[in-house]
Chain A
Amino acid sequence: MAATHTLTTRTRAGTITGIAALAFLAVAVILPAFASRSLIQDLFFILTMLTLAQFWNLLAGYSGLVSVGQQAFVGFGAYMLFAATILWGVNPVAAILLSGVFALLLAIPTAFFAFRLSGAYFAIGTWVVAEVVRLTVAQWQAVGGGTGTSLPRDARDAMWGVTWIEAAFDVRSSAARDILAYWLALALAAATIGGIYWFLRTRRGLALAALRDNVEAAKSVGVDAARMKWIVFLVAAFGTGIAGGLIFLQNGRISPDSAFAVTQWTAFVIFIVVIGGIGTIEGPIIGVLVFFMLQELLADFGATYLIVLGCLGIVIMLFARRGLWGLISDRTGVQLFPVRRRLIAPARGPAGQTDEGGGHND
């Protein structure tokens, strides 16, 4: 064989997605100049939930780590942001990074404990860890103990960029803080999706897909299953911690019950991933939009809202196991974030024709 084979992941849909994503980002960045404050707050909510969903999807959808204790990292990250701001005088914007770092540190002992468990035991184990962290943090009087605390006014005013936003958009400082939080959430969600997409296209990402399909076979072809689990768990904890810090920075107030809420930070997130389509990048994006619309529609119905969410989740799990995006991509074959490596035969190579034949099949 004189010419060499090559591999590519490029597809037309992928290129279009890339261009559309850049255009969308550009619009999203300048949006605060036109949009109302409530829209900015809604988008902040969507972007942060999307980030949490992408990381939970990375855990459960790609690595089989079905954690129901991600609120541990949301809450601990958020609390460390308040602690860093209140106790150590760190600027709140810089403290967001600390949220990630501390969540990562918490993830190390958590993983040592939880990786000894598998399946349902792993899920319950992570929940137990989250409860332990919640109860421990509730004893921490310097950040308000069981009742919680607010971000001090001088810390809020000191947030980097707020005065500039006030002047540039001619808004009050509370609205300026929302715009700043929105931009940070936008950057976080973009970095999360971009980062996961990049990772899935590396050889470790390919290993992750192999592990998802068959652990024993993956080990037998040289995939380091244990190391992959560690990488994914720690990365997810870091990202989830950053999202937690940002959410409660925007909120301005924290309490153990809100920061470690299993419904808000895990059940809703699972719902988003499951109805959107587990194991895909597209799934959580669709899921979060559906979730947000349902929340808007059913906001006035109180507890009925949760019942409807639960029923919808069950229906999707029974009749469309790969979620709404699974239905769409099965019909159309489209991958917005293509990770599939295709073998390209050398032009005029002996395998040229047969390979083209294979290419038409997918």
Chain B
Amino acid sequence: MGMILSLHDVTKSFGALKVADGISFDVPEGQALGIIGPNGAGKSTLFNLITGNLVPDAGRIKYQGRDVTRIPPMQRCLDGMGRSFQIPQPFTGLTVFENLLVAATHGQDRPESAVVDHVARVLDQTELMGVANTPAGGLSLLQRKRLELARAMATQPKLLLLDEIAGGLTDGECAALIDTIRGLHAGGVTIIWIEHVLHALTAVVERLLVLDFGRVIGLGEPAEIMDSREVREIYLGIEV
């Protein structure tokens, strides 16, 4: 199976701070990859580099065999890259349904009427159907997090980037979220998931990447990574 995403020596600095320091890794098509690391390790920055919201200072990013290092986010979305934001970024003046509708119609470049059923299905899957016609500005935090996932799903991504969507959920809600993501994964979607809630992450992903100070310090089977000394040091005191 081919590589859907390849990063080669990707580097990005904000002033003197190196937030991505020579990051290289490959993601095979259809895989679920988890990304962990302490706060400020550069996880969300890495996502912004992959989606094109940030442009790297050096290095190359290949997506579906094509160099996309300087391709704008809009085009990457059209090519099948969907993402959620760590801090929910809903379109507050639009309803939940319209949030998904704009993603579906522009992300897939199809007319509104052609994507309504797909949007309705996503609303059902993410348990947002009850608030479909409510303005997104009035949602609770949990609903906003769901909306992040739902909006990314609405674009029908081939590669889905999820940024901390499980935080603050009850056990039941978390189990439902894991089911949803497993379902997407089983449907062939490649997933890269940044998450602090490790049991949710390890329930889905096949591989774990550990990031610290903008560098990859571990990449492999989840069990093997969780056992490594470096990771244990970083996560000392955090329940695994």
* Contact A225 B74, CB 8 Å, known A7-B112, A355-B132: yes
Q: Are B133 and A343 in contact (CB under 8 A)?
A: yes
User: A12 within 8 Å of B by Cβ?
Assistant: no
User: B31 within 8 Å of A by Cβ?
Assistant: no
User: A300 within 8 Å of B by Cβ?
Assistant: no
User: B131 within 8 Å of A by Cβ?
Assistant: yes
| Complex CA–CA separation, A149 to B167 (angstroms) | 69
Interface residues of A in 312-334 (CB under 8 A from B): none
| Residues of chain A with a CB closer than 8 A to B108's CB | 222
Output the least CB separation between B189 and chain A (Å): 16
Q: Are A209 and B94 in contact (CB under 8 A)?
A: yes
User: B53 within 8 Å of A by Cβ?
Assistant: yes
Closest A residue by C-beta to B113:
A7
Q: Are B53 and A221 in contact (CB under 8 A)?
A: no
| Residues of chain B with a CB closer than 8 A to A10's CB | none
* Contact A1 B91, CB 8 Å, known A221-B106, A223-B106: no
| Residues of chain B with a CB closer than 8 A to A214's CB | 89-92
Q: Are A206 and B121 in contact (CB under 8 A)?
A: no
* Contact A218 B102, CB 8 Å, known A212-B93, A213-B93, A223-B74: yes
Interface residues of A in 201-228 (CB under 8 A from B): 203, 206-207, 209-210, 212-214, 216-225
| Complex CA–CA separation, A218 to B152 (angstroms) | 11
Q: Are B105 and A351 in contact (CB under 8 A)?
A: no
User: B109 within 8 Å of A by Cβ?
Assistant: yes
| Residues of chain B with a CB closer than 8 A to A362's CB | 95, 133-135
Interface size class of B (residues with CB under 8 A): 35 or more
Output the least CB separation between B102 and chain A (Å): 5
Grouping DSSP codes into helix (H, G, I), strand (E, B) and loop, the B interface class, with mixed when no group exceeds half, is helix
User: A38 within 8 Å of B by Cβ?
Assistant: no
| Complex CA–CA separation, A101 to B103 (angstroms) | 34
Q: Which of B1-9, B77-85, B196-204 contacts A (4 or more CB under 8 A)?
A: B77-85
Most B-side CB within 10 Å, residue of A213, A342, A350, A362: A213
| Complex CA–CA separation, A357 to B129 (angstroms) | 10
For B107, give its contact among A221, A350, A358 (CB under 8 Å): A221
* Contact A216 B89, CB 8 Å, known A355-B132, A358-B134: yes
User: A172 within 8 Å of B by Cβ?
Assistant: no
| Residues of chain B with a CB closer than 8 A to A354's CB | 129-130, 132
User: B51 within 8 Å of A by Cβ?
Assistant: yes
- The number of residues on chain A lying at the interface, defined by a beta carbon within 8 Å of a beta carbon of chain B, is 38
Q: Are B111 and A1 in contact (CB under 8 A)?
A: no
Closest B residue by C-beta to A201:
B112
Q: Are B98 and A206 in contact (CB under 8 A)?
A: yes
| Residues of chain A with a CB closer than 8 A to B92's CB | 213-214
Q: Are A343 and B106 in contact (CB under 8 A)?
A: no
Closest A residue by C-beta to B110:
A203
Interface residues of B in 122-150 (CB under 8 A from A): 123-124, 129-135
* Contact A357 B112, CB 8 Å, known A217-B85, A340-B98, A341-B95: no
Q: Are B132 and A343 in contact (CB under 8 A)?
A: yes
| Residues of chain A with a CB closer than 8 A to B94's CB | 206, 209-210, 213
| Complex CA–CA separation, A358 to B94 (angstroms) | 14
| Residues of chain B with a CB closer than 8 A to A6's CB | 113, 116
Most A-side CB within 10 Å, residue of B107, B123, B129: B129
| Residues of chain A with a CB closer than 8 A to B159's CB | none
Q: Are A5 and B95 in contact (CB under 8 A)?
A: no
Give the interface of A toward B (CB within 8 A).
1, 4-7, 203, 206-207, 209-210, 212-214, 216-225, 279, 340-343, 345, 350-351, 354-355, 357-359, 361-362
Nearest 8 CB-CB pairings of A with B: A221-B103, A222-B107, A222-B106, A213-B91, A217-B89, A222-B77, A5-B120, A354-B130
